[in-house]
Structure 1
Amino acid sequence: MSSSDVKADLASAVAEVEAQEAELVLTTFTHEEAWRLGVRLVELATERDLPVVVDIRKGTQQVFHAARPGTTPDNDSWIKRKVRVVYRFGASSYLMGLRARAKGTDFNADQGLLFQEYAAHGGAFPVHVKGVGIVGVVTVSGLAQQDDHALVVEALRELVESQV
């Protein structure tokens, strides 16, 4: 694959994730909705036998956390680092990593942030409420970063559709 093909693929991925963030805006995000979202992510992971950890935060409070077989405490570390990216930059951890790669830079070096504290890898997605802004973060860790991201998007899309 040529360098121009890679740049085009990255630009396309950035645009796709930006569109997802614009689309996946909730009308509310209660503790009950956070719980249902977490349970749905665990159900999807169980149906597909995926080794993931699911974490949902409302503000800074962790309101849901579940670890499936095949995960380790390292997944919890990844979650914390991905969540920090969302709260600091107001965008999904995957989008921030894609943007850096599209610019040909390393996210952590470019931002002057320690990799042990911030991970711009897929899986943490901002929970946006219409008219309010970011009110939380939903995170999955355990798969390839694009798959962590895709699982979160799938479950969030279901929640958005249920609120219509």
Structure 2
Amino acid sequence: MLDTLPSPTRSLSSLASQERSFTFSHFTCEHAWVIGNILRNALRTADAPAIIHISLSSSQTLFHAPSMPGMMPDNETWVARKRATVLRWGHSTWYLGCRFEGDERGFAEYYGVSGEERGKYTVEGGGYPVFVKGVEGVVGAIVVAGLEGEQAHGCIVKAVEEYRELRDGFRSPMRSVTGK
């Protein structure tokens, strides 16, 4: 899968539009479970060890799993940094990486992030915002850590697109068909 992913765009307007086009009507643990498993299966098929993390802005973890053995403890640090960046700035880390041409220092200086706080954020691709219709701001984050940023971003976009196609017209068995 990773070799077949098209390179993500570097156009900021296209990236921002793409992020908003994935606005959910609602977002629950059911959504996270399906998206997380799409990602995990794709990464396992590609023989790519990575950590998949999906959480709400309230810090509630909805999905967290390695794709396969081979994770390093640093991957957890990257999950936290990517998640924090998405939640604070409301864009994917790939968007911010493109905006600052991968320059972590320029990013930090622009936003006045210094000292120890600087290590809490990153512009390395692999963090993606979750938006919900009618809710202002980012509701959660989808993160892949352990891949190159470009691959991680592409993998998340492909998984969310696959999820959207899978869910199109599907009604959860958890909800009553009659609306009761």
| TM bracket, shorter-chain basis | 0.7 to 0.9
What stretches of structure 2 of length at least 5 have no aligned partner?
1-8, 169-180
**Letter paired with 1:63:** L
Aligned to 1:130: 133
Question: Which residue in the other structure is 2:62 paired with?
Answer: 63
Match of 1:36 in 2: 34
Find the counterpart in structure 2 of residue 49 from structure 1: 47
Superposed CA deviations along residues 38-81 of structure 1, whole A, max 9, x for unmatched, are 11110110111111110000232111111222221101101101
DSSP-derived class of the 1:64 partner: strand
SS at match of 2:27: coil
1:26 maps to: 24
Match runs of 1:1-164 below 5 Å:
12-59=10-57, 60-67=59-66, 68-101=68-101, 106-113=106-113, 114-133=117-136, 134-164=138-168
Identity %: 33
Structure number with the higher helix fraction is 1
Cα distance in 2 for partners of 1:53, 1:12 equals 24
Structure ranking higher in strand proportion: 1
> Bigger CA drift: 77-86 or 65-74?
65-74
Look up the SS of the partner of 2:125 in the other structure: coil
Tell me how far apart the structure 2 counterparts of residues 58 and 69 of structure 1 sit (CA, whole Å): 26
Note closer, same or farther for the CA distance 1:102–1:117 as it changes in structure 2 (3 Å cut): closer
Instruction: Supply the AA of the counterpart residue of 1:135.
Output: V
Q: What is the TM-score with the length of structure 2 in the denominator?
A: 0.77
Amino acid at match of 2:23: V
Deviations 1:64-123 (A, max 9, x none): 1112222211011011011111111111111112112289x7212222224421111100
3-state SS in 1 of match to 2:12: helix
Matched length: 154
Question: Is the Cα contact below 8 Å between 2:23 and 2:131 reproduced in 1?
Answer: yes
1:12 Cα deviation (Å)? 4.3
Tell me the secondary structure at the aligned position of residue 78 of structure 1. helix
Q: Deviation at 1:142?
A: 0.9
With normalisation by structure 1, the TM-score equals: 0.84
CA RMSD of aligned residues (A): 2.2
Report SS of the residue matched to 1:71: coil
* Structure 1 residue 14: Cα displacement: 2.3
Q: CA deviation at 1:30?
A: 1.1
Deviation >6 Å, runs of 4+ = none
Q: Which has the larger radius of gyration?
A: 2
